[in-house]
Amino acid sequence: MKTLIFNSDSEKYRSKPKLTVLTRKVGLFIASAILMIYVLGPVGWLLSSSFQTEAEIVSVPPHWIPHEPTLKNFKAIFFQEFEEVTYENRSRVDTSAGGYIPTTAKYLLPSMWNSFIISIAVVILNLLVGVPAAYAMAKIRFWGRQASIYTILTTRVIPDIALVVPFFLVIKNLGLLDSLSSLIITYLAVTIPFTVFILVGYFESLPDELDKAARVDGCSRFQALTKVFLPLSVPSLVAVILFTFLTSWNEFLLALMFTQTISSQTLPIIVAGFTSDFTISFSFINAAGVIAIIPPVILAIFFERYIVSGLTAGAVKG
Amino acid sequence: MSDQSKLTIGYRLLRRFNYETRSAALFILPVMSVLALVTVFPIFYSLYTSFFNLKLTRPHRVPFVWLDNYIKVLSDELFWESVQRTVSFTLMSVSAIAVIALLIALLLNETFRGRRVISTIVLIPWAIPTVANGLLWKWIYDSGYGALNGVLLQLGLIDKYTVWLGDADRTLPLIANAFVWKEVPLAAILILVTMKSIPADLYRAARVDGANAFQRFVHITLPSLKPGFMLVMIYETMMAIRHFDLFFLLTEGGPGEASHVVAWQIYVETFRNLSFGTGSAMSYILAIVTFALAYFIIKMLGRRV
């Protein structure tokens, strides 16, 4: 605040534009700083507390930056270096007072692998069924075209929580409870409408002449799609892949209902399991949270351009 | 009817199934069959279930009960209370999202050094899993060691630690805050995109006519943002009504029933009371209301989405 007043004072007698430029700069700086604190503050706090020891994390007021950073929590996750609570040592490590690292820490990596497999499968299936459908809806003038677009978008309006009950009954009757395939199938329902939405928007923005030229040159519909349209739509395909991957990676509700053991539990389920147990070390829970956050955040930062352009393609003409 | 018109109808029908339609059908068939399996069938199955008294605690006797499940749900006081809470949660979240997203979009619409970095960082909350988001805010609101208490104490705004989520009046706003934090980036991007599509000529003309920055904002920016806002409001309303994750992770419907919203009610009824009949009925009511609401917002705010 002080510098602001000082600066505007010293600029007082100069030409007006310079002053406005300066106020604008200061204003933008303050606004950006507030925004960054709002966005990064919570994440930074989680990150900082994941490197703290149990003694440090319970200090009042909290240490914003760890005074004696430790990798103990991450070691427990990646190398299974944790102290098991047994009958012999339980008096030494009082579990009821909090501060122990659970043996379920060893499930974090397998659950991450489950999440990965599911996400990849959902991405591939989305592309296989979504791309041809979106092409047909955008470029072929057929009877029932509008109706099929609306049908697909409509299915996305139905709340997940309303689908959970019927999904559960269907999955149970198919005998697929607690299997990766149950999640792959249900995530398709969640992701396909969005995939089609983005791709139809993008294909429509490409000129019809491309399609006609390909057809005149003797391409079949399928060839027009694979040889002309696919190479042109890499940006929106990347967006679709990212959206689908992130949705599957982050999904919680359906995974909570359909998985029971580590053979199918995904990362969000394992992490959520820690949060409801009050005896577990706070810093360890936060480390698990950090592990869950890292992959999607890296993807988002790396492919920011594609995400924004993918949203744009679908939304603006919308 | 003459033979001539019959022929035309037959001809028209045949025309409808020409090469174009056939190839389109082939392209669309996979999507449609997947959606039929994973969405359309379950939804009708759920309608069917909602007419039966299906309890997993009693799997061999499943009587057909007509509309009893619906009557039971609609005459349940807890259900209407949870509807109220869902409505206030949705209103809080959506209005906060619209305002904050507009502010962020206004900032990112300016050209200044570091804008690109900032617009990338803004995406972070959108990318993180809801579970991590829940964990993050649970830890921030923590009564013993949380950041919220820490910050307020250090700023001298409180003199002792408070149990934030334990206060029934604060629970919904606090959960809404966590929800808003995660949803704001997407809304900001959608509004920013709309903002960028406003022709610069409009602003120049207004400046010539002597409009100041505030007048330009009210008379040009806000009206032009209508399509963007409409999209954001529809999308975020849908998301807020159905939201479950944070209620599960932060409060489990508590304290008392302070955060017992409809989504949570469906979960409790179905997976804790194992009453699938009433659970399905409730799911159906929620789906229809969401649907009607989406339609209503579209009709109210403008032409096509």
Q: Which tokens is B116 given?
A: 């690109």
CA distance B305 to chain A (A): 6
Grouping H, G, I as helix, E, B as strand and the rest as coil, residue B235 is: helix
Indicate the number of domains in chain A: 2
> Is the residue at A66 inside a domain?
no
Grouping H, G, I as helix, E, B as strand and the rest as coil, residue B209 is: coil
For residue A165, what is the nearest residue in chain B, using CA coordinates? B280
Q: Do A35 and A170 fall within a single domain?
A: no
> Is the residue at B59 inside a domain?
no
Q: Do B137 and B25 fall within a single domain?
A: no
Q: Do B108 and B31 fall within a single domain?
A: no
Interface touch A46/B284, C-beta < 8 Å: no
On the CB side of B65, CA atoms within 13 Å amount to 20
- Tell me, what's the pLDDT at B16? 60
CA distance A264 to chain B (A): 17
Q: Do B39 and B90 fall within a single domain?
A: no
> Is the residue at B61 inside a domain?
no
Question: What is the CATH number for B185?
Answer: 1.10.3720.10
Which among A128, A135, A272 has the least Cβ separation from residue B131? A272
Grouping H, G, I as helix, E, B as strand and the rest as coil, residue B64 is: strand
Q: Which tokens is A74 given?
A: 């991450």
DSSP state of B144: T
Interface touch B145/A257, C-beta < 8 Å: no
- Tell me, what's the pLDDT at B252? 84
pTM of the complete model: 0.84
CA distance A91 to chain B (A): 24
Kindly tell me if the per-residue pLDDT of B180 is higher than 90: yes
Stretch B253-266: mean pLDDT: 84
- Domain endpoint, select from A50, A70, A89: A50
Residue numbers of the domain that contains B12? 3-49
Query: Amino acid identity of B199?
Result: P
**CA–CA separation, B151 and B139 (whole Å):** 13
Q: Do B45 and B105 fall within a single domain?
A: no
**CA–CA separation, A93 and A98 (whole Å):** 9
Interface touch A40/B121, C-beta < 8 Å: yes
Answer yes or no: are the C-beta atoms of A214 and A227 closer than 8 Å: yes
* Each residue's pLDDT expressed in tens, for chain A with a length of 318 residues: 444 444 444 444 444 567 788 888 888 899 999 999 999 989 988 888 888 877 777 777 777 777 777 777 777 777 766 555 555 555 554 444 455 677 677 788 888 899 999 999 999 999 999 888 888 888 777 777 777 777 777 777 777 777 887 888 888 888 888 888 888 988 988 888 888 888 888 888 878 888 788 878 877 777 878 777 888 888 888 888 988 999 999 999 888 888 888 888 888 888 888 877 767 777 888 888 898 899 999 988 888 888 887 766 655 443
> Is the residue at A191 inside a domain?
yes
Q: Do A194 and A305 fall within a single domain?
A: yes
- From chain A, pick out residues whose CB is under 8 angstroms from the CB of B271: 257
> Is the residue at A284 inside a domain?
yes
| ipTM given for this complex | 0.81
Interface touch B124/A43, C-beta < 8 Å: yes
CA distance B169 to chain A (A): 22
**pLDDT single digits (tens) B75-117:** 888 888 889 999 999 999 999 999 999 999 999 988 888 888 8
Q: Do A231 and A116 fall within a single domain?
A: yes
Q: Do A139 and A44 fall within a single domain?
A: no
Q: Do B116 and B236 fall within a single domain?
A: yes
Residue B65, φ and ψ in degrees, nearest 5: -120, 20
For residue A115, what is the nearest residue in chain B, using CA coordinates? B129
Q: Do A114 and A35 fall within a single domain?
A: no
CA dihedral (A179, A184, A190, A196) in degrees, to 10, reads: -170
Residue numbers of the domain that contains A225? 104-315
Q: Do B179 and B42 fall within a single domain?
A: no
Q: Do B8 and B116 fall within a single domain?
A: no
Q: Do B222 and B260 fall within a single domain?
A: yes
Choose, out of B116, B135, B162, the residue to mutate when testing the contact with A (most A CBs < 10 Å): B135
Q: Where are the alpha helices (DSSP H) in chain A?
A: 2-10, 16-50, 54-57, 72-79, 108-139, 145-157, 160-173, 180-205, 208-216, 221-223, 230-232, 234-250, 253-258, 267-275, 282-302, 304-315
Q: Do A109 and A38 fall within a single domain?
A: no
Indicate the number of domains in chain B: 2
How many angstroms separate the Cα of A278 from the Cα of each of A56, A258, B260? 17, 25, 22
- From chain A, pick out residues whose CB is under 8 angstroms from the CB of B17: 143
Q: Do B276 and B135 fall within a single domain?
A: yes
